[in-house]
Structure 1
Amino acid sequence: MPKDKLLDISLETIEIFCQIYLKKNAIEVANHLDLSQPKVSRSLGALRSVFDDPLFLRRENQFQATDIAHNLYPIFNNMIQCRQTLDDMMRGSAGIIANAVEVATVPQLQVNLIQSVKQAVVELTAADIMISTTQWGAGTAQQLLNDEIDAAICFERAPSHSILSKSIIQHRGGYLVARKHHPIWDNPCIDKMINYPLIKLITMPFPANKSPLGNYAKRLGKTLQCYATVPDLGTAASNLLQSDAIIVVGVKEAVNFFNNVNGLHAQKIDSAQDQSILENFSHPTVYLWLKLDASGKVTTPFWLQRCLEDYIIQAHQ
């Protein structure tokens, strides 16, 4: 890749790339950034030329990221965040450092959140503050509006216009988890998975908590049994160890948690089969909820936004 080509890539083009990665639709990106659709197309074309890769493939009226695009997103997103940090510093709006911060989150993104964010806060602000988490749920939006929590991490957009639903990253694929000596490991394909009961977390990254694997079984004229719906990863692990149930997760940090439980094994689902499971479903997106004031300005201090965004991205790698 010629260095002079990369030097010609502007931050605006990089931001367009990040938005396409998250929204998967050029028209939506153009509307979001108040740009013309040809401008978005030209920017994407410039990046494709630089990296000699299509970056996004059109499938079922949506853009699907290539492996190179998946690898570029965390780097490009960090560049955009650095620009925002500099802008905030110049405006003097970095935000007051609080003594304590509470974040609502889904179980899949609770693993190591406190430790990771606490360390990031120290590195970014040199402040030692108390970080705590609470479970994301139906009342989370009102808690954020009431200033009872400082931010929320989940898989859906907020129901209130007074909350910014900031899309951070998409899952790159699912992982199958079961006990080590489970018969599924003899042939871990999706046609075998649907023969075993499924454990669901209380917060699934799909509309109405529907299971794509259950939907796949239905297309084949079968019914996928639900073994249990559990509130956290620890309870899921306990159920997996004591049964022939399986679970599918897309957050790498959650996968690592299961792999560290003695007696459990996790394995990435083949990409072609993963696409079959996700037929009729959009790739799950992780959102960061931030409160807006009456003028539409985010009230969450930027240092906290940055720490939470970094954690979410790291949890998927």
Structure 2
Amino acid sequence: MTQTNLNKIKDLDVFELFVFKYIFEHKHANNVAKLLNVSAPKVSRSLSNLRNTFDDELFYRRQAELKPTPVANGLYDSICEFCRIVEKLETPVTPAQATQEEQVLHIAVPQILFTGIARSLKHAQDQGRITKVRLHSWHENTADDIYNGKLDFGVGFENALSKELTIAPLGHLQALCVVGAEDHPIWSQHENVRLEHLTEYPFIYIAEAGFNDKIDPFELYCRNHGLTPAKIESVSRREEWYSHMLNMGSLSFLTPVEADFYKDVPSIHTERLLDKDYFSLHGRQHGPMLHFIETQKQYRHYNSKQREAIADVIRHAIITKPH
């Protein structure tokens, strides 16, 4: 970015900086007006002032969306940095509040690992090994929330995220369990449930970004092996997934740590998938990789000791060795 444009950013109204940032990210002026809780004309006036300031269109309409010009692309990172600073300045914290805030870390995790990670973190908290943690479900805007400081870090399957985030491998999932209603006929028909047996019944899964949001490994396995599954569907919420198994006779997969929780849930039954089937499912010698995703070091609100302690708990919760 040129020094001239940097000086222009400094001269802009703070509100206009946020208008630029949100238009860049959300592509629609009306959506930006709703996010900022202002009228659409006010957003239009701010956009007009931005265009005059930088002597550039900044955003042009294409297929009902506002697309950034090269000048807007060049401004985005610096404007985001200004917005980040402003957000921090607008949240005054007293020493007492700061101490309390440091004791709670906000972490995003995939829904399919939520319960197991929560239980493992609770056990570690009871032992005094980690601070308090509030878990959030990973969703489409989680990476932005980590970058903007709304979340401290996340555990996810995605690895092609913003260049402003630090992504480190946490480990591979190493095993799965089959799960379904306790009165499902598959349990009595087979001593060991195999992948080909699952094709005889509806299959349900929770779609997770970077893992199975495009296609689930079981569906891909069926295609590659010439198998025709009865039906495969995806849902976005755990409640839908649970009721689908009870009311639709569907089967699904769980990690062992999740299965350990569901074995005590009424009307649900789980069985470990054979290791050879697990690795055949993924077509390789290891399962999907999970990543530890966080903002750059200078923006973190926790120290390396806290980070490693929590990462260690999560790693042991999700990385189950086959046996």
Q: What TM-score bracket applies, with the shorter chain setting the length? A: 0.5 to 0.7
**Runs of 5+ in structure 2 lacking a partner?**
1-98
Measured in 1, the distance between the counterparts of 2:249 and 2:129 equals 47
Q: Corresponding residue for 1:154? A: 156
Show CA shifts across 1:179-217 (max 9, x none): 122122212221111121111113166364422211122
CA contact (8 A) 2:205 2:234 kept: yes
Show CA shifts across 1:125-161 (max 9, x none): 786x4x3222212211111111111111112225122
Letter in 1 for 2:185: P
Q: Corresponding residue for 1:275? A: 279
Q: TM-score, normalised by structure 1?
A: 0.60
CA contact (8 A) 1:259 1:266 kept: yes
Instruction: Specify the structure having the higher radius of gyration (Cα).
Output: 2
5 Å-filtered alignment, 1:61-210, equals: 98-111=102-115, 113-114=117-118, 116-117=120-121, 120=124, 123=127, 129=132, 131-185=133-187, 186-187=189-190, 188-203=193-208, 206=211, 208-210=213-215
CA contact (8 A) 2:121 2:314 kept: no
5 Å-filtered alignment, 1:14-93, equals: none
Measured in 2, the distance between the counterparts of 1:179 and 1:159 equals 37
CA contact (8 A) 1:165 1:290 kept: yes
Q: Corresponding residue for 1:48? A: none
Q: Corresponding residue for 2:306? A: 304
Q: How far apart are 1:177 and its partner, in Å?
A: 0.8
CA contact (8 A) 1:237 1:258 kept: no
Q: How far apart are 1:101 and its partner, in Å?
A: 2.1
Aligned-residue identity in percent: 17
Distance 1:122 1:242, change over 3 A: closer
Tell me the C-alpha RMSD between the 2 structures.
3.0
1:231 is aligned, of 217, 229, 237, to: 237
**Runs of 5+ in structure 1 lacking a partner?**
1-95
CA contact (8 A) 2:279 2:286 kept: no
Q: Corresponding residue for 2:71? A: none
Matched, 1:260 2:233: no
| Residue aligned with 1:111, SS | helix
Letter in 2 for 1:202: A
CA contact (8 A) 1:164 1:298 kept: no
Measured in 1, the distance between the counterparts of 2:125 and 2:153 equals 15
Matched, 1:314 2:319: no
Q: How far apart are 1:276 and its partner, in Å?
A: 2.1
Measured in 1, the distance between the counterparts of 2:288 and 2:243 equals 25
Measured in 2, the distance between the counterparts of 1:126 and 1:283 equals 28
Q: How far apart are 1:219 and its partner, in Å?
A: 2.5
Q: TM-score, normalised by structure 2?
A: 0.59
Measured in 1, the distance between the counterparts of 2:248 and 2:116 equals 27
Measured in 2, the distance between the counterparts of 1:315 and 1:117 equals 9
Distance 1:259 1:125, change over 3 A: closer
1:221 is aligned, of 221, 226, 234, to: 226
